[in-house]
């Protein structure tokens, strides 16, 4: 980039004198002989114009007013068009005040000098004009540099802006990709928990799709209570895995009813909530759910286990899972029409002692959505038909649990089929084909 401090090679200023009298031109040449100017002369305005056309670097024009042909004013006016930057001075007689005014107004004259001139005065005027001219020229040069630098800055700025925009786009793109990956991870994590929960149920066949039901019911209650989404997710996970600690309990014990167990067996069984928390503790994301798993058998009055917490000290998620767990167990044991009415009745009796009363309105509101779809075995007022997995359709109701070939419960009795579950079933039937078809209820 050019800078203002750059060294300029300063050529002497060129001055053009115009006068029809040769003597005048001679004396002017003589006067400026020792000065550092380049002198050009012309005998008429017309000749001077020709000279200007090929000498655009002329800095000062000094013209007589009274000349045959073009007058000084007319000449200066035309000269202004050819070399607009040159300074113009008019030489004129005393009486010619009109010519002076014209020279200034039309010819853009910088000064006028009266004839006959005093040498010192003319030298001084020309000297000042030369200084003025070179200052103006320098000013112009500096302005050009500033303009050029501004333009370069502007270019840099727009380039910078472009780079910033490009980078922002790149970052946004990467963020989107990360978001996508994150979503994938989350989905995989959730699917893994569901798969794991199904595996648990595979072992404890007595409970069927217990964890799934408890999860569905708990999350409905939580949503009805307007609990934040994060809490609802934790509750879902905890409900799906609430009995994971039963993995450590021997099969023989697991098949017995809690009330029929002796003291030692009960003690062993009661360890499952703490073991459950310990089992998930190594996965950091599962720790909040682990806390709910630990406390899903606490009672509101502090008579529950493992820690005997009471009231608000029991996490709300654990209070919800506790009641959903109780209701699902009760309904499954009864396995008949109106089972959920009886379950509700039992819950009402435990309000304030075992269960949290503030949950009851939400339980009452949501219970039908979870359990009315379950058709008690032997009480079906509908015909049951066995269909090939490729023949099931949306809206059909399962009349039996659907198990995979190796016994995994895929969907529970009462489920209403939708596109997603149908696709999942078809996929399972390819991977792990069941020996039976799918039993659905049709009206008699």
- Among the candidate windows 193-201, 230-238, 317-325, 387-395, which touches Fe ion by CB under 5 A? 317-325
- Among the candidate windows 25-33, 83-91, 241-249, 337-345, which touches Fe ion by CB under 5 A? 241-249
Determine the Cα–Cα distance for residues 428 and 39; give it in Å rounded to an integer. 106
- Among the candidate windows 122-130, 238-246, 300-308, 421-429, which touches Fe ion by CB under 5 A? 238-246
| Residues sharing a CB contact under 8 Å with residue 87, sequence separation 6 or more, in sequence order | 59, 60, 61, 110, 129, 132, 133
Residues in the chain: 444
Q: In angstroms, what is the minimal distance from the CB of 325 to Fe ion?
A: 4
204 vs 224, beta carbon nearer Fe ion: 204
Q: In angstroms, what is the minimal distance from the CB of 431 to Fe ion?
A: 28
Token couple for 253: 């014990």
- Should residue 325 be labelled a site residue for Fe ion when binding is judged by CB under 5 A? yes
- Should residue 298 be labelled a site residue for Fe ion when binding is judged by CB under 5 A? no
Determine the Cα–Cα distance for residues 236 and 289; give it in Å rounded to an integer. 9
| Residues sharing a CB contact under 8 Å with residue 29, sequence separation 6 or more, in sequence order | 17, 39, 41
- Should residue 243 be labelled a site residue for Fe ion when binding is judged by CB under 5 A? yes
213 vs 434, beta carbon nearer Fe ion: 213
232 vs 295, beta carbon nearer Fe ion: 295
- Should residue 96 be labelled a site residue for Fe ion when binding is judged by CB under 5 A? no
Q: In angstroms, what is the minimal distance from the CB of 272 to Fe ion?
A: 6
Q: In angstroms, what is the minimal distance from the CB of 232 to Fe ion?
A: 19
Q: Which residue is nearest to Fe ion (CB)?
A: 325
- Should residue 19 be labelled a site residue for Fe ion when binding is judged by CB under 5 A? no
- Among the candidate windows 3-11, 173-181, 322-330, 375-383, which touches Fe ion by CB under 5 A? 322-330
Q: In angstroms, what is the minimal distance from the CB of 287 to Fe ion?
A: 19
325 vs 366, beta carbon nearer Fe ion: 325
125 vs 249, beta carbon nearer Fe ion: 249
- Among the candidate windows 12-20, 29-37, 76-84, 236-244, which touches Fe ion by CB under 5 A? 236-244
- Should residue 77 be labelled a site residue for Fe ion when binding is judged by CB under 5 A? no
- The DSSP symbol for 245 reads G
- 306: preceding bond cis by omega (within 30 degrees): yes
| Residues sharing a CB contact under 8 Å with residue 371, sequence separation 6 or more, in sequence order | 213, 331, 339, 340, 414
Q: In angstroms, what is the minimal distance from the CB of 210 to Fe ion?
A: 6
Q: In angstroms, what is the minimal distance from the CB of 191 to Fe ion?
A: 22
Determine phi and psi for 401, rounding to 5 degrees. Answer: -60, 145
Determine phi and psi for 10, rounding to 5 degrees. Answer: -90, 105
- Among the candidate windows 127-135, 148-156, 161-169, 321-329, which touches Fe ion by CB under 5 A? 321-329
Q: In angstroms, what is the minimal distance from the CB of 308 to Fe ion?
A: 16
- Strand runs labelled E in 263-319: none
Determine phi and psi for 64, rounding to 5 degrees. Answer: -70, 155
β-sheet bridge partners, residue 37: 13
76 vs 318, beta carbon nearer Fe ion: 318
Q: In angstroms, what is the minimal distance from the CB of 236 to Fe ion?
A: 15
* Residues in binding contact with Fe ion, number by CB under 5 A: 2
| Sequential DSSP letters for 311-337 | GGGS-HHHHHHHHHHHHHHHHHHH-ST
201 vs 325, beta carbon nearer Fe ion: 325
β-sheet bridge partners, residue 440: 385, 398
Determine the Cα–Cα distance for residues 355 and 314; give it in Å rounded to an integer. 11
β-sheet bridge partners, residue 438: 387
Determine the Cα–Cα distance for residues 219 and 231; give it in Å rounded to an integer. 9
Contacting residues toward Fe ion, per CB under 5 A: 243, 325
């Amino acid at each position: 980039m050019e800078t203002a401090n750059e060294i300029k090679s300063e050529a002497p200023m060129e001055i053009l004198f115009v006068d029809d009298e040769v003597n005048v031109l001679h004396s002017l040449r003589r006067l400026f002989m020792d000065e550092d100017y380049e002198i050009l002369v012309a005998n008429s305005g017309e000749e001077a114009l020709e000279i200007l056309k090929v000498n655009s670097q002329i800095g000062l024009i000094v013209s007589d007013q009274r000349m045959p042909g073009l007058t000084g004013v007319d000449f200066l006016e035309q000269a202004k068009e050819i070399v607009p930057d040159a300074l113009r001075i008019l030489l004129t007689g005393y009486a010619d005040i009109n010519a002076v005014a014209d020279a200034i107004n039309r010819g853009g004259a910088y000064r006028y000098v009266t004839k006959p001139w005093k040498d010192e005065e003319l030298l001084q005027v020309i000297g000042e004009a030369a200084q003025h001219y070179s200052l103006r020229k320098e000013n112009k040069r500096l302005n050009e540099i500033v303009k050029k630098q501004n333009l370069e800055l502007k270019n840099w700025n727009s380039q910078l802006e472009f780079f910033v925009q490009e980078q922002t786009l790149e970052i946004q793109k990467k963020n989107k990709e990360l978001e996508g990956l994150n979503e994938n991870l989350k989905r995989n994590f959730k699917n893994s928990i569901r798969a794991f929960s199904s595996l648990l149920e595979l072992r404890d066949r007595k409970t069927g799709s217990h964890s799934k039901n408890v999860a569905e019911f708990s999350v409905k209650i939580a949503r009805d209570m307007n609990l934040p989404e994060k809490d609802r997710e934790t509750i879902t996970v905890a409900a799906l895995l609430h009995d994971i600690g039963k993995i450590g309990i021997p099969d023989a014990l697991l098949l017995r009813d809690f009330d029929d167990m002796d003291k030692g067996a009960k003690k062993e069984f009661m360890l499952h909530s703490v073991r459950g928390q310990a089992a998930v503790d190594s996965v950091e994301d599962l720790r909040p759910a682990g806390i709910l798993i630990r406390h899903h058998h606490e009672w509101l009055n502090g008579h529950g286990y493992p820690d005997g917490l009471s009231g608000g000290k029991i996490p709300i998620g654990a209070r919800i899972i506790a009641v959903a767990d109780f209701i699902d167990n009760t309904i499954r044991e009864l396995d008949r029409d109106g089972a959920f009415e009886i379950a509700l009745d039992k819950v009402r009796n435990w309000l304030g002692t075992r269960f949290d009363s503030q949950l009851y309105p939400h339980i009452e509101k949501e219970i039908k959505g979870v359990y009315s779809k379950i058709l008690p075995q032997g009480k079906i007022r509908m015909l049951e038909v066995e269909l090939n997995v490729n023949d099931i359709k949306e809206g059909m109701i399962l009349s039996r649990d659907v198990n995979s070939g190796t016994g995994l419960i895929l969907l529970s009795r009462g489920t209403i089929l939708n596109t997603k579950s149908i696709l999942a079933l078809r996929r399972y039937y390819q991977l792990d084909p069941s020996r039976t078809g799918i039993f659905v209820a049709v009206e008699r």
